[in-house]
Amino acid sequence: MESHEYYLSRALTLALESYSEGGCPIGAVLVDNQTGDILGAGHNGLVQEQNPILHGEMAALRAAGRMPNRHHTTMYTTLQPCFMCTGAIVQFGIPRVVIGDATNASDEETLHFMRARGIEVIVMDPSLSEAARACIDLAARFRNGNPAQWQEDWGGGPNPELVPREPSGKAGLRPAKGER
């Protein structure tokens, strides 16, 4: 089986492809942990497909297609997953995520969310990984050169109308009729 560096480099190639097409430079590959085969690969498709939910991780999952489960896979991604992609990783029970760039993400909340659910999260060290260094540099270049598109890809930024509230009842849900 190949190394983390190898698979992250494959994801980086996809991110560079998206960047060359005018899209957000985020690439991902889903790898079978037992065989080392790449099951799915893709890059962000906001610009190319006019699809705001086709992030690199989602594109890799889409390319992998149907399978009974993804319990023996690793998701390699050039940028720390957003909450949408993190939700998909958790939903499908992907046990490991390898990240090239956590520097250009907004915060570490998604990393904590995945780890709290038993997912092994590996953030590659840019001082030791050429691919991680390149992921960070590429995202920074795009973010600085295309701030509006970067913000659009991350959902448009915080909605000032949304105010965090404390949950009430079980998991923040109101009791069903007759359960009071």
List C-alpha distances in Å: 53 to 27, 87, 136, 155. 14, 12, 22, 9
Distance from C-alpha of 159 to C-alpha of 174, rounded to nearest angstrom: 24
Catalytic-labelled residue, pool 2, 17, 57, 130:
57
Chain centroid offset of residue 175 CA: 34
Residue 27's H or E segment, with its range, is: strand 27-32
Catalytic, 57? Answer: yes
Nearest alpha carbon to residue 56 among 96, 10, 93: 10
Place of tokens 């598109």: 149
Question: Which pair of tokens denotes residue 85?
Answer: 């992609």
Catalytic positions, written as ranges: 57
